């Protein structure tokens, strides 16, 4: 599975949660990978809801959040759209509001993972957030956003 997200916006998200800590390229890469995995899972769940309702178009409501303003998001919509389509059939369409809603959920998830990774780095008495901090947090018990 290749990572669909560009690292720059993911790096921005992890840095805004890291405070004074440095961030390794590996941490940003791992967070991008985890965002992608979570996004594909959410899209599968949304497709199941759409199927139950007799629809072939994923809507924002299928992701459980109000899409809000897409310009307020750090994650770009086009890669999020590709992530949404990774594990669902080609027969599904993804509305623009659904893409924005998914991006909002994923950014919330990324903020939580990044903040936790920063706590783990500080606990290890390091000045750099590393890939292992992201991995450890997800392995200990993944946070599934409640938005």
pLDDT tens digits, one per residue of 61-91? 999 999 999 999 999 999 999 999 999 999 9
pTM: 0.92
Task: Give the start-to-end residue ranges of the domains of the chain.
Answer: 7-140
Q: Give the confidence band of 142 by pLDDT, cuts at 50, 70, 90.
A: low
Q: 38: which residues sit within 8 A by CB, 6+ positions away?
A: 106, 109, 142, 144
Assess whether pLDDT exceeds 70 at residue 144.
no
Gap between the Cα atoms of 101 and 115, Å rounded: 21
Assess whether pLDDT exceeds 90 at residue 3.
no
CATH superfamily of 7-140: Histone, subunit A (1.10.20.10)
Which residues on neighbouring strands pair with residue 23, listed in sequence order?
Answer: 129
CA-closest candidate to residue 101, choices 126, 123, 83, 124: 83
């Amino acid at each position: 599975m290749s990572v669909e997200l560009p690292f720059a916006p993911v790096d921005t998200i992890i840095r805004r949660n890291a405070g004074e800590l440095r961030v390794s390229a590996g941490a940003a890469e791992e967070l991008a990978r985890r965002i992608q995995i979570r996004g594909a899972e959410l899209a599968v769940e949304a497709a199941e809801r759409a199927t139950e309702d007799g629809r072939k178009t994923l809507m924002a409501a299928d992701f459980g959040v109000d899409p809000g303003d897409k310009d307020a998001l750090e994650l770009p919509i086009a890669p999020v759209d590709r992530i949404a389509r990774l594990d669902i059939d080609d027969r599904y369409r993804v509305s623009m509001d659904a893409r924005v809603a998914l991006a909002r959920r994923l950014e919330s998830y990324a903020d939580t993972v990044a903040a936790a990774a920063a706590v783990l780095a500080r606990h290890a008495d390091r000045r750099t957030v590393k890939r292992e901090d992201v991995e450890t947090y997800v392995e200990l018990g993944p946070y599934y956003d409640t938005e």
